[in-house]
Chains A and B, each alone.
Chain A
Amino acid sequence: MNAPAESAFVAEPYKATGDVIIDCSVDKIFYGDFLAVRDSKVPIEKKKITGFIGPSGCGKSTVLRSLNRMNDLIQVFRFEGRVIYHGQDVYGAKVDPVLVRRYIGMVFQQPNPFSMSIYDNVAFGLRLNRFKGDMDERVQKALERAALWKEVKDKLKNSGLSLSGGQQQRLCIARAIATEPDVLLMDEPCSALDPIATRQVEELMLDLKKNYTLALVTHNMQQATRVADTTAFFSVDISHGGRTGYLVEMGPTSQIFESPREQLTKDYISGQFS
């Protein structure tokens, strides 16, 4: 079972217990000639939080960004495998990546509000999709869900950039959920935030889980134990001179942290990873 990393180790597939909304199965991800990630099957379950953990360079962000084709913006990016979403392969020939991103939203590491008013930031996606209903109501609802409404309701005309870092990140979450995406991808959403703001965003994630599916990349293992239902642990293989990331183990968060099957996982979560 404890296959050494330098052989072509492939993680035992995780058998999802709930509905799988995105069935991601990576064969190979390349940046030019560089093999960034190999052989990783990561099913994302509906209305749960799937955490991606692992050391730097292990490809967890790359896999996350492959789910909504954000990596297509990098010209040398090449994806081999399948990402099945509602029965369609996201990488299918007829699929428009722009539409994929409207259903699978994203929150980034650095808060990145647009330099426009708080209201316009949240309304951005609604206008983009030519939303015809009550804009004010949807903006308020999104801000309430993002636990930001009370702080900004009297200054919706102010610039989104005038908020603090934690508020900006919650604004970005409000912006992302205003269009009711199916899935929300979060790429280290708390790494630029202080502990209090982190706490708020974590509580928000647990609340969002009632309506949305979340996939979360985090460097912070405590964060994974606090919020993730399922955890995927990635590692990086540097034995062939490259730096190829791969999935080591995926399972319910409690199992990954309390009784990991793989030695690598055990070493990493106990802090013995070099």
Chain B
Amino acid sequence: MSDIDLTLSADAMRPVPQLGRKGFEARALKSGVLTGLTWIAALLAAVPLFSVIYLLLVNGGSRLFGSDFAEVLTGLPPAGFEMGGGIGPAIVGTLAMVGIASVISIPIGILAAIYLGVLEPRSKVANTSRFLAKVLTGFPSIMAGVFVYAVLVIHWGYSAWAGGIALAVLMLRTVVLAAEEAIAQVPQRMKDAAYGMGCTRSQVIWKVVLPTGLPGILTGVLLAVAGAAGESAPLLFTALFSNYFISELSEPTASLSILIYNFSGMPFPNQIELAWTASLVLVLIVLGFNILARLIGQPKV
């Protein structure tokens, strides 16, 4: 294409504008190549997830979706050379510890987010605490385990409590930051409307801010839960492992991630196969929470 001659003033004799495409252009080629590159990059970004799921389905799927799936999901882990067995204690242990972590971190996280997002968003305390929550985001997860080990495990031994608390430390940052974001996005004019109706500050928070921000808050909570379910490092120092179903929260507890770590290093094909199955179960749990978070987080209007 040729550029428009802008030296001519508008009322001078300009040729009639020709708006049609003119055959081959370098610009069109560049555009095509770049579009192709972004396509490839987008596909590449999706490759890891799908290849992991494929690998897990191939290696672990036969056991999970096979005839002995009930035993796999509820049975005890096999000893060396033993056939069969399952990952029941690890599933229960993971759910129990994620449960403990949720009970601790979700209320604290949401209350902190209310402080950061509504009550005193610009105060020194809020700025400091927001900054620290962000620092915690880059905090290596194993440090949470070491921290709880030093504070609790040394005195009271390995337990589901310690594991849950270590996971809570990691969940807290996600819950706080996501809930604050969701709360901050509630428009000021909605809060004004509530104040104008004669709401007290706590009524504004309970009746308007939290219900309006709920989808975003739940998304953050579920992402935090999903993240915690997949953690292994913090549990190494806190919950350790167990071959049996937990009877008390104060004893060492099995978890899927540690079971995967243990069994994948063993020289027995049965254990290795179970490690694959456990990985598949873990990924399905995490994926389930993520999909749930997506569904809840979608705007309803």
B198 an interface residue at 8 Å Cβ cutoff? Answer: yes
Q: Are B192 and A99 in contact (CB under 8 A)?
A: no
Q: How far is the CB of A257 from chain B (nearest CB, A)?
A: 30
A186 to B194, CA, bound (A): 15
Given A98-B198, A99-B198, A101-B197, do A115 and B207 touch, yes or no (CB 8 Å)? Answer: no
Chain B neighbourhood of A175, CB < 8 A: 193, 197
Size bin of chain B's contact surface: 10 to 19
A255 an interface residue at 8 Å Cβ cutoff? Answer: no
Q: Are B190 and A128 in contact (CB under 8 A)?
A: no
Q: Are A70 and B187 in contact (CB under 8 A)?
A: no
Given A112-B189, A115-B190, do A73 and B197 touch, yes or no (CB 8 Å)? Answer: no
Q: Are B197 and A115 in contact (CB under 8 A)?
A: no
Number of residue pairs A-B, CB distance < 8 angstroms: 62
Chain A neighbourhood of B189, CB < 8 A: 108, 110, 112
Size bin of chain A's contact surface: 20 to 34
Q: Are B301 and A101 in contact (CB under 8 A)?
A: no
B212 an interface residue at 8 Å Cβ cutoff? Answer: yes
A172 an interface residue at 8 Å Cβ cutoff? Answer: yes
CB under 8 Å from chain B, chain A span 185-199:
none
Chain A neighbourhood of B211, CB < 8 A: 114-116
Q: Which of A101, A162, A172 contacts B198 (CB 8 A)?
A: A101
Q: How far is the CB of A189 from chain B (nearest CB, A)?
A: 12
Q: Are B212 and A115 in contact (CB under 8 A)?
A: yes
Q: Which of A108, A114, A161 contacts B208 (CB 8 A)?
A: A114
Q: How far is the CB of A71 from chain B (nearest CB, A)?
A: 11
A28 to B187, CA, bound (A): 30
Q: Are A101 and B195 in contact (CB under 8 A)?
A: yes
A200 an interface residue at 8 Å Cβ cutoff? Answer: no
Chain B minimum-CB-distance residue to A96: B200
Q: Are A176 and B301 in contact (CB under 8 A)?
A: no
Given A70-B196, A98-B198, A98-B200, do A124 and B190 touch, yes or no (CB 8 Å)? Answer: no
A192 to B211, CA, bound (A): 26
Chain B neighbourhood of A161, CB < 8 A: 301
Q: Are B300 and A159 in contact (CB under 8 A)?
A: yes
Chain A minimum-CB-distance residue to B203: A128
Q: Are A108 and B192 in contact (CB under 8 A)?
A: yes
Chain A neighbourhood of B207, CB < 8 A: 124, 128
B296 an interface residue at 8 Å Cβ cutoff? Answer: no
Q: Are B301 and A159 in contact (CB under 8 A)?
A: yes
Q: Are A125 and B195 in contact (CB under 8 A)?
A: no
Chain A minimum-CB-distance residue to B195: A73
Chain A minimum-CB-distance residue to B201: A98
A105 an interface residue at 8 Å Cβ cutoff? Answer: yes
Given A112-B187, A114-B212, do A172 and B193 touch, yes or no (CB 8 Å)? Answer: yes
Chain A minimum-CB-distance residue to B212: A115
Chain B neighbourhood of A114, CB < 8 A: 190, 193-194, 208, 211-212
Q: Which of A99, A106, A115 contacts B196 (CB 8 A)?
A: A106
Chain B neighbourhood of A125, CB < 8 A: 197-198
A62 to B212, CA, bound (A): 28
CB under 8 Å from chain A, chain B span 280-298:
none
A99 to B197, CA, bound (A): 9
Given A98-B200, A125-B198, A128-B203, do A162 and B301 touch, yes or no (CB 8 Å)? Answer: yes
Chain A neighbourhood of B190, CB < 8 A: 112, 114-115
Q: Are A128 and B197 in contact (CB under 8 A)?
A: yes
A66 an interface residue at 8 Å Cβ cutoff? Answer: no
B199 an interface residue at 8 Å Cβ cutoff? Answer: yes
Q: How far is the CB of A105 from chain B (nearest CB, A)?
A: 7
| Interface membership of chain A positions 103-123, coded 1 if the CB is closer than 8 angstroms to chain B and 0 otherwise | 001101010111110000000
Q: Are B196 and A105 in contact (CB under 8 A)?
A: yes
A179 to B189, CA, bound (A): 20
